Chain A
Amino acid sequence: MAKLRQRVAAFIPWAVLVILILVLPDLTRPTVATEVWVFAILALAFNLLLGYTGLLSFGQATFFGTGAYTAGLLLIHQRVHPLVALAAAALAGGLVAAVIGYLCIRRIGLYFIMLTFAFNLMAYFVVYQASSITGGVDGLPGVSRPPVDLYVFSWDIRSGIAYYLFVSLIFLISALTLKKVVDSPFGLVLQAIRENEARAVALGYNTAAFKRVVFIISGAFSGLAGALYGMLFGIVPIDTIYWVTSGNIVFMTLIGGTSSFFGPVAGTIFFIWLAETVSVRWERWPLIVGLVFVFVIFFFRGGFVEVWRRAYGLLVRLSQRGQPQYGHSKD
């Protein structure tokens, strides 16, 4: 009985996601909805580092931007197949993450954070200066969306809805993949590193190697997200690699909740909704993000997930039915 319950419980978040995917374009514009899932991939990738391994990387935009520019350049100059662009972006993101990860992992704590930040800054300025390739501060306009040719049929993703479906599909695939990663033995070791790295080392794990690998995975998926972003607006802006974007990713993930696999998605929805909807009414919406973030830091450190859990727990207690489920399991 308990096992069935567990299975159902595990299935629920996925069901919620699918439902969200189906209704979101009706609740908001297709462009906004697409953006949500693009950043959701990014947030999940980032949470791999923060929530699961305990690595606060302040330079996620480096991989996001790398992927975006890689795909952008391929799509502008070569009009490659979108899947090829995505693969190239993921590869690029992963490669850059491999290099940066290798260099940054040597240090821990404060130095690690500052190193990731430093590399993000460097990447930004490189992109800024190489304006003949990257368009500099103005970004790369003209990113195309060629049809997705899959032998049996060709999918034209130029319309808003078509592209939205494409992105949500990629998101689901990415989310499933990442979930497999965190549920695997590899994922468990990451969590062990987060809890107590010294102990993990004592148990014989090469923690540095694990960290490097998770960095690469995170970088690859971030690059993928970057490519999707570029194709969304037809432009790769320099903001994709700007350090403030890294900060925004941190905001999104933490506000959503790092202790749960799906938490970051909630944070993403909140952030993008603010960025796209509230921004038109009130340009100072980042203030709201900042304030909410402070609120989260002080009262709901687990983010929306914690809010949800507490509310849920409260409801259960109030209804006084069954046993309170204060599980420590990950959703």
Chain B
Amino acid sequence: MDNLATTIAIQLFNGLVVGMLYALIGIGLTLILGLLDIPNFAHGALYALGAYLLLQLVGLTGSFWPGLLLAPVVVFIVSSMLERFMIRPLYPVGSNYVLLFTFAVSVIVQELIIILWGPVGFSILPPQLLAGSVDLGFFSYPRYHLFVMIVSLAVVLGLWLMLERTRYGAIMRAGIENKTMVSALGIDIYRLFTVGFGLGAGLAALAGVLIAPIRGLTPYMGADILPFAFVVVALGGLGNIVGAIAAGLIIGVTQSLTTQFWPQGSTITIFGVMAIILLTRPQGLFGAR
């Protein structure tokens, strides 16, 4: 196979890996945005928290797998509690305050991470099982990257199924569409918010866990990823889950390919796209409003 084609194929794969992670984070953020009507500025911090919890569990157990399973769950629980006890009281005051609260949380969590784990970044190695690369015929590709792709895909599919096929999922989708109606139907909308927030946070944490062996951890990883999360959400449409998935992949692949041909331009392109979308088509590429 020709060299350029191989390179592009590799970059495509890279793009898909990053894209799936963006999708995971994006789904979480757009879910929270759709349900609670607030941009969750703490989303990056929760993603970082997931990664750091993984670090802690790896340190305690010597293995990657407990972290993979537990970290997102812990973040889910903690975030749900946060929503229930600290965000919920703020709803009557105004969404601006909720927004600002999440921003404060992002700062607090980042500082706590530095206090608990130090300012120096960490590296985590992929688990033994997934180390090294796989020969895909035309090129070698790191095994762990493939693992991430598959797991993210599985989670996203699982989520989609939950939303489309289960009753609870339907309620959630309804909650995004029309809160008053859902409330009128007698469903506890506030509990929905709590679960939704927790779920969104858990997804972010999962993304953090998955990406940790690839990118390493730093206390600033949350602040670093937040802009990209917002781009995904804007592109996909605020509150649009499927949109977030597609947008995540598009952004990931775009970023990868521009790194190949125009490295300096990759981030600008992405934010330029975001601004254009927000201005011309606020429902995103996939929304219908």
Contact = CB atoms under 8 A, between A and B. Distances in A.
> Are chains A and B touching directly in their complex (CB below 8 angstroms)?
yes
Interface of A: 56, 103, 106-107, 109-111, 113-115, 117-119, 121-122, 125-126, 128-129, 243-244, 247, 250-251, 254, 284, 286-287, 289-291, 293-294, 297-298, 301
B282 A293 contact: no
Chain B, interface size category, equals 35 or more
B100 A290 contact: no
Interface string B95-126: 11101110111011011101100000000000
Interface string B74-100: 000000000000100110010111011
B71 to A, nearest CB: 23
Given A110-B238, A286-B107, A115 B279 contact: yes
A110 B104 contact: no
B39 A284 contact: no
A119 B271 CA distance: 8
B230 A114 contact: yes
B115 A290 contact: no
B278 A111 contact: yes
B101 A294 contact: yes
A107 B114 CA distance: 37
A287 B111 contact: yes
A114 B100 contact: no
A114 B278 contact: yes
Contacts of B33: 110
B264 interface: yes
B103 A247 contact: yes
A290 B230 contact: no
Contacts of A56: 96, 99
B227 interface: yes
A284 B271 CA distance: 31
B275 interface: yes
B274 interface: yes
A270 to B, nearest CB: 15
Contacts of B223: 244
Contacts of B227: 121, 243
B100 A254 contact: yes
A105 B275 CA distance: 13
B137 interface: no
Closest 4 pairs between A and B when the two form their complex, measured CB to CB: A287-B111, A290-B108, A290-B107, A122-B271
Classify the secondary structure of A's interface with B: helix
Nearest to B282: A111
A9 B110 CA distance: 43
A137 to B, nearest CB: 13
B259 to A, nearest CB: 14
B101 A297 contact: yes
A114 B234 CA distance: 9
Residue of A107, A111, A118 with highest tally of chain B CB at under 10 A: A118
Given A114-B230, A118-B230, A297-B104, A287 B112 contact: yes
A103 B279 contact: yes
Given A121-B227, A287-B108, A301 B93 contact: yes
B107 A122 contact: no
A106 B280 CA distance: 10
A129 B258 CA distance: 14
B201 to A, nearest CB: 18
A293 B278 contact: no
A196 B231 CA distance: 31
A293 B108 CA distance: 10
Given A290-B108, A293-B100, A294-B104, A118 B37 contact: no
15 contacts: A106-B279, A111-B278, A113-B39, A118-B230, A118-B274, A119-B275, A129-B265, A129-B268, A247-B41, A286-B111, A287-B108, A290-B107, A298-B90, A301-B93, A301-B97
Contact of B104 (A107, A128, A293): A293
Interface in B240-285: 264-265, 267-268, 271-272, 274-275, 278-279, 282
A297 B100 contact: yes
A109 to B, nearest CB: 8
A143 B207 CA distance: 42
